[in-house]
Amino acid sequence: ILNVEQSPQSLHVQEGDSTNFTCSFPSSNFYALHWYRWETAKSPEALFVMTLNGDEKKKGRISATLNTKEGYSYLYIKGSQPEDSATYLCGSQGNLIFGKGTKLSVKP
Amino acid sequence: DAGVIQSPRHEVTEMGQEVTLRCKPISGHNSLFWYRQTMMRGLELLIYFNNNVPIDDSGMPEDRFSAKMPNASFSTLKIQPSEPRDSAVYFCASSPYPGQGTEAFFGQGTRLTVV
């Protein structure tokens, strides 16, 4: 994998559903893996920065895992709320190149 | 700290004119990034500075685009001449050093419209 790739591109869930997205990144010369939350008409804001293989981080209902050997990270949202609606960006390496993001829409 | 400050917030210019976007990073941050938001590519990295030195400018679309960082507290992104397809939101971000696991902080963006 030469670039950061995210899937799915978009996701529609009902309030209360739990969901997860995937980020794939180049596993060679790994430095750090970033997750950002980007609301419409605002600027991206950092959720997690992970550096170690096997890292798991949690912030409220949102958590993330990291596998640097195989080059992937998962972001989980438990009990989605309408305010979770945003684009979730994954970025990798020192020059912070992002994937195209996963756009999450949570219906009340 | 006031965060990353970008100016102007909105810019409307005519095709062929020179446009300069400005960014003031957070004091003490070593890395600065310029991004462009497009429908096709999402948040596209244009150029990355570390300690005021351009490290990766492979994302700069063409020679009409140039970026400078004359000191640790100021950077510019210049488009000359501008074209309608340059219309986009341009973001600046700074970080202590993202490769060491530190997050980047984004400015509010400059919405550029070239007519």
Q: Is A6 within 8 Å of A20 (Cβ atoms)?
A: no
Q: What is the pLDDT of residues B50-74, one digit of tens each?
A: 999 999 999 998 899 999 999 999 9
Q: Is A25 within 8 Å of A12 (Cβ atoms)?
A: no
Cα–Cα separations (whole angstroms), residue A38 to A90, A101, B96: 11, 9, 21
Distance from CA of B11 to the nearest CA of A (A): 16
Give chain B positions within 8 Å (CB) of A8. Answer: none
**Angle subtended at Cα B98 by Cα A104 and Cα A27, rounded to the nearest 5 degrees:** 75
| Residue of A22, A10, A24 lying closest to A97 (CA atoms) | A24
Give yes or no for a cis peptide into A108 (omega within 30° of 0): no
The pLDDT of residue A72: 94
CA-CA distance, B78 to B69, in Å (whole number)? Answer: 12
Q: What is the pLDDT of residues B5-41, one digit of tens each?
A: 999 999 999 999 999 999 999 999 989 999 999 888 8
Give chain B positions within 8 Å (CB) of A32. Answer: 98-101
Give chain A positions within 8 Å (CB) of B43. Answer: 38, 44, 89, 98, 101
Tokens of B44: 């596209």
The pLDDT of residue A99: 92
Q: Is A98 on the interface with B (CB under 8 A)?
A: yes
Question: In a 3-state reduction of DSSP, which class is residue B99?
Answer: helix
Strand A33-38, strand A45-50: pairing: antiparallel
pLDDT surpassing 60 at residue B99:
no
Q: Is B18 within 8 Å of B78 (Cβ atoms)?
A: yes
Residue A39: φ, ψ to 5°: -85, 150
| Residue of B19, B82, B72 lying closest to B49 (CA atoms) | B72
Q: What is the pLDDT of residues A5-62, one digit of tens each?
A: 999 999 999 999 999 999 999 888 788 899 999 999 899 999 999 999 999 999 999 9
| Residue of B69, B106, B82 lying closest to B13 (CA atoms) | B82
Q: What is the pLDDT of residues A64-99, one digit of tens each?
A: 999 999 999 999 999 999 999 999 999 987 778 899
pLDDT surpassing 50 at residue A1:
no
